[in-house]
Structure 1
Amino acid sequence: MSRWRGDPWAVLVTLSLGFFMTLLDLTAVNVAIPSMIDKLEASLDAVLWVINVYILVLAALLITAGRLGDLRGPRAMFVAGVALFTVASVLCGLAQDPAQLIAARAVQGLGAAALMPQTMTIIIATFPAERRGAALGVWGAVAGVATIAGPTLGGLLVSAAGWRWIFFVNVPIGAAVLVMALTLIPDVRPGRPHRLDVPGVALATAALLCLTFGLTEGQRYGWNAGIWALLAGAALLLAVFLAHQRTRQDDEPLLPFTLFRDRDFAVMSVVSAAVQVGMIGLFLPVMIYLQSVLGFSALKAGLVMAPGMVLSALVSPVAGRASDRLGGKYILMSGLALFAVGMAWLAAVADVGRTWQALQPPLAVAGLGIGCVFGPMVTVALRNVEPRMAGAASGVLNTIRQIGTITGSAAVGAILQNRLAGSLRDEASARAAGLPADLRGRFVAGFDHAAKGGLEVGGGRGAAPDTPPGTSPDLVHHVQRVAAATFEHGFVHALRPTLALPIAVIVIGAASCALVRRHRSEGRDEAPVDSRPMADTP
């Protein structure tokens, strides 16, 4: 493989595989939510922490990892991240309860944070400007492929071998990436070394933790004063963090404000967060809907999502190349508009008893829109960034994306739980009229108690009252049917307002693209990032 060492496309394949691995579990975990709830006896908010703790650690440490990449070398950080992520995947697969799984997912997030910003930094250092859009388009397509492979492969593994294998599958991928990284990626160090801003890291991490805990656990604690105090604390910590960063602008800040003087970078920061809110808003509630309402297996649910995501992966490199020639402004606006239309269409057609075929047109439109976003978004964001700031810009952009993910996940989860609690109560009250009088109060109270105790998503499980001894089998079966119908219709009623949030955020992202400067990259005489090759370490 030595003759391929340093080859830009061989390097891109290696980086893309590592990036793919970090994204695979994010979508695969969404498919496995009902299974993990059953096998680990966990509530919905506990499983949301399995998703959120990974994103929390990732978002909090991305900029720091980007700085460490500048200091220690991006290849060294990439290799360390892949190794840590692979070991943590084994620990996730061996977890015996929600607490163990959440802890292992935190370690996974640490590994992902170490490797992810290095992928963009090395791509920028490896590809000349006239080919960078195509390379970033491929990099963006990896997100689409991971989106396909996550639900589909995750569904296959959950159905055939159990939820633990969505983590164990990372082991061979991680081993292959380690070998490829050590043999194919040269040790290049773009820019100059940076110092770490430890107080900034602590403030940012604390702010994200308060925000995530408040949004994720708000429904469980009835949005009491403590929850609102956490959310207020998050806002205060963010303000202190920004003030702290302002004082360090001449001394290696964690968040260089100079990046945001470039209008295109500032707008793409908003768009990147909006896209992530849209992605998590699509996958989190819709995967639960497919399995818990429509009764699809995990595999079938993944396959239902696959065609739209295949379309996304096919379109993404084309959109990346087009952004090199034409600029990404109108491609981005069109893609985001299609994404929002697809999600709104899906919200309109979602109902109890829908066939998988009825969901394909809106999912295809959403997938087409997603495919037009990732490559052009990164190309526009980094177009005017100075080479010495490439590592910082990569870390900041990825951090903002992940903040969008974690905020979207927590907010969508909070809205889903809140709306589901209310709709289940209303449905239970209406449908209890068809039950014997002595069961009606207990039936409604069962759903109300389930909502207050942390919702367990799945066909009314745990909400239907225990029938008295001697109840006829026909009546028991009737109560179970009514409980299942209550959950199914209640979830559909909660799904639509839940999807309204990510749709609105995507629309705002599309509108903000109007501020992007018109640009044509063709014929630009732009040099690639100045890289200083270092002696390869053994």
Structure 2
Amino acid sequence: MAFRCNRSTRRSTHLNPRLIALSLSVLLPSLATSIANVALPDVASGLGAPFADVQWVVIAYLLAVTTLVVGAGRLGDLAGRRRLLVAGTAAFTLATLLCGLAPDLPLLVAARALQGAGAACMMGLTMAFVRESVPVERTGSAMGLLGTMSAVGTALGPALGGVLVAASGWRAVFLVGVPLGLVALVLVIRVLPDPAPSPRRFDTPGTVLLALTLGAYTLATTAAGPWLLVVAAAGAATFVVVEKRVPSPLVAPSAFRDPGLVTSALVSTVVMTTLVVGPFHLSLALGLAPAAVGLVMSAGPAVAALAGVPAGRATDRFGTRGPVLVGLGGVVCGTAALSVTPASSGVLGYALPLVVLTAGYALFQAANNTAVMGDVPADRRGVVSGLLTLSRNLGLVTGASALGAVFAATAGDLTTASPADVARATHWTFAVAALLAACGLPLALRRVRQPA
């Protein structure tokens, strides 16, 4: 009997068709996020558009994912999660094809927005299926695998995009995702369970308010002026008031008190700092060539990808409380080390703390996602999965804008800044990031002290 249980456990995480379907549902949106950036110069020249306009190829996708992911998760709870995931995967795949065939920039941007809407369904619903896809005691391993696939997609995008652009032009960057999307669609239809939908009503006012608020915040940090932050703040305050009064809110008031969501946003903000500051520090402060910069930068995503599954197994074995604290401690220690390590220590002085940081992030993410999703009722798993994805995306957006601004302000004009100026800016930026990560420790301790 024990032997049969062990075999079943192994099948739950190895060659499990449901996990393969969920892994593709995470991999493809992550790949679509990072692979398009490298093609922007060729898109601009190929379509005869100014670079400022071409940036909307990236912004449209990010905006659609951020504004729709929570609503998509809740709609999945109410209308059927598998049904919405099928629709989202189909929309994503069709939009990917349209991106590769777009004759002009407006149609390409519109197709990217549709692709982002499909990605919102895929990213917002994936974690909600974990409880129906693996035994409870293997939940952490499944979450770790999904974190690995997200890291693989993010890391693979720039390298794969560069190869495809050089070989076949910018359209290949999008067309390569079509067959993978079709495979994901077939798997979602054939192997994923179909949980019963909730009979509750959809909160249209709350969904619209949240989408407008998140849209204003995203635009404020990516394309428009900071004045939109005032709009976002007003929208957020109005959203909270509305959610307290409607009978079936999009986001239950108790969700705002979940420390796991806030900590997830803080940690994602810190991780994004490595992607924003790293290239400038490695090239301008350490004097590395572009190829060497790319190689060192790939160490972070590679470690996150390799550590994801072991982090999930550690969560299954030890529970979520210890791994959350240990993972967050790794993020704090790695970031603090980057804030004080002198440039004279060379590449190893940057790479070793980066490895500690990203390994800690992998452990934190697997344990925290498992903890947040662990006691969620079945009829709210979609919206909570969407909130987890949203917290990560908001952290990435905030890290790119706010901590990027800290680096720019302390470095000065990068065209004339000395290596010492760039190193000093790196230290200041990571010092701020370390403080942000440390702010997550009281929140993590609060979750640890909650009853199991």
Do the aligned partners of 1:47 and 1:98 also contact (CA within 8 Å) in 2? yes
Match of 2:221 in 1: 215
The aligned runs of 1:139-178 (5 Å cut-off) are 139-158=146-165, 160-161=167-168, 164-178=171-185
Superposed displacement of residue 111, structure 1: 0.9
- Measured after TM superposition, the shift of residue 205 of structure 1 is 1.9
Alpha carbons 1:152, 1:303 under 8 Å: kept: no
Larger Rg: 1
Q: 2:188 aligns with which of 171, 181, 193?
A: 181
Q: Which amino acid aligns with 2:238?
A: V
> Partner letter of residue 140 of structure 1?
G
Rate the CA distance shift 1:37–1:267 in 2: closer, same or farther, 3 A.
farther
Distance 2:44 2:338 in 1: 25
Give SS of 1:516's match. Answer: helix
- Structure 1, unmatched stretches of 5+, are 1-6, 222-226, 428-459, 461-484, 522-538
The letter of the residue matching 2:204 is V
- The superposition leaves residues 506-529 of structure 1 with CA deviations (integer Å, 9 ceiling, x where unpaired) of 2222342111236998xxxxxxxx
Deviations 1:465-516 (A, max 9, x none): xxxxxxxxxxxxxxxxxxxx55977766654444444433222223421112
Change (3 A) 1:125 1:270: same
Greater helix content:
2
User: Are 1:246 and 2:238 matched, yes or no?
Assistant: no
Task: Name the stretch that deviates more: 395-404 or 339-348.
Answer: 339-348
Partner residue of 1:365 out of 356, 371, 392: 356
Contact 1:316–1:373 under 8 Å retained in 2 = no
Q: What secondary structure sits across from 2:399 in the alignment?
A: helix
Contact 1:309 1:367 in 2 (8 A): yes
Deviation sequence 1:298-330 (CA, Å, 0-9, x none)? x65443333343332232222222223322223
Shift of 1:285: 3.6
The sequence identity of aligned pairs, in percent, is 33
Superposition map of 1:295-374 within 5 A: 296-297=289-290, 301-346=293-338, 359-374=350-365
The residue aligned with 1:72 is 79
Q: 1:256 corresponds to which residue?
A: 252
2:451 and 2:397 map into 1 onto residues whose CA distance is 34
- Mark the CA change 1:216 to 1:119 in structure 2 (over 3 Å): closer, same or farther: closer
Alignment of 1:444-483 (within 5 A): none
Contact 1:215–1:414 (CA under 8 A) maintained in structure 2 = no
Counterpart-to-counterpart distance in 2, 1:68 and 1:330: 34
RMSD of aligned alpha carbons: 3.6
- Helix, strand or coil: the match of 1:196? coil
- Describe the shift of the 1:415–1:93 C-alpha distance in structure 2 as closer, same or farther (beyond 3 A): farther
Alignment partner of 1:276 out of 268, 280, 285: 268
1:237 aligned onto 2:235: yes
Contact 2:78–2:197 under 8 Å retained in 1: no
1:338-368: CA deviation from partner (whole Å, max 9, x where unpaired):
22333444455686x9975664323322221
Give 2:441's aligned residue: 510
Q: Provide the C-alpha distance between the structure 1 equivalents of 2:31 and 2:22, rounded to a whole number of angstroms.
A: 14
Q: Distance in 2 between matches of 1:520 and 1:241?
A: 30
> What is the alpha-carbon distance in structure 2 between the residues aligned to residue 31 and residue 288 of structure 1?
17
Q: Normalising to structure 1: TM-score of the pair?
A: 0.70
* CA distance 1:86–1:388, shift in 2 (3 Å): closer
**Equivalence for 1:383:** 374
The match for 2:114 is 107
Partner of 1:116: 123
Aligned-partner residue type, residue 272 of structure 1: S
Q: Which moved more, 1:50-59 or 1:363-372?
A: 50-59
Query: What is the rounded CA distance, in whole Å, between the counterparts of 2:439 and 2:336 in structure 1?
Result: 14
Which of these residues, 202, 220, 223, is aligned with residue 208 of structure 2? 202
Please say if residues 79 and 198 of structure 2, whose CA atoms lie closer than 8 Å, have aligned partners that are also in contact: no
Alignment of 1:415-426 (within 5 A): 415-416=406-407, 423-424=412-413
Question: How many equivalent pairs are there?
Answer: 436
The yes-or-no answer on 1:27 pairing with 2:34 is yes
Kindly tell me: are residues 102 and 499 of structure 1, through their superposed partners in 2, closer, same or farther at Cα, counting changes over 3 Å? farther
In 1, are the aligned partners of 2:79 and 2:197 still within 8 Å (CA)?
no
Question: How many Å apart are 1:37 and its aligned residue?
Answer: 8.1
Letter in 2 for 1:304: V
Structure 2 unaligned residues grouped into runs of 5+: 1-10
Q: Which whole-Å deviations, capped at 9, do the CAs of 1:193-239 have from their partners, x for residues lacking one?
A: 44322221221122222223333356xx6xxxxx43x3222211110
Letter paired with 1:73: G
Q: What is aligned with 1:476?
A: none
Query: Residue 517 of structure 1: SS of its match in structure 2?
Result: helix
CA contact (8 A) 2:331 2:360 kept: yes
The residue matched to 2:357 in structure 1 has which SS? helix
TM-score scaled by length of structure 2? 0.82
Letter in 1 for 2:437: I
1:172–1:12 CA distance, 2 compared to 1 (3 A): same
- Equivalent AA in structure 2 for residue 380 of structure 1: A
Query: Could you tell me how far apart the structure 2 residues matched to 1:32 and 1:490 are?
Result: 31
Alpha-carbon distance in structure 2 between the residues aligned to 1:50 and 1:95: 12
Indicate how the Cα distance of structure 1 residues 345 and 158 shifts in structure 2: closer, same or farther if over 3 A, else same: farther
Whether the 8 Å contact between 2:77 and 2:379 is mirrored in structure 1 is no
| 1:42 aligns to 2:42 (yes or no) | no
**Counterpart-to-counterpart distance in 2, 1:511 and 1:344:** 17
Structure 1 position 62, deviation (Å): 1.6
Between the aligned partners of 2:409 and 2:111, the Cα distance in structure 1 is: 28
Q: Distance in 1 between matches of 2:397 and 2:188?
A: 29
8 Å CA contact 1:31–1:302 kept in 2: the answer is: no
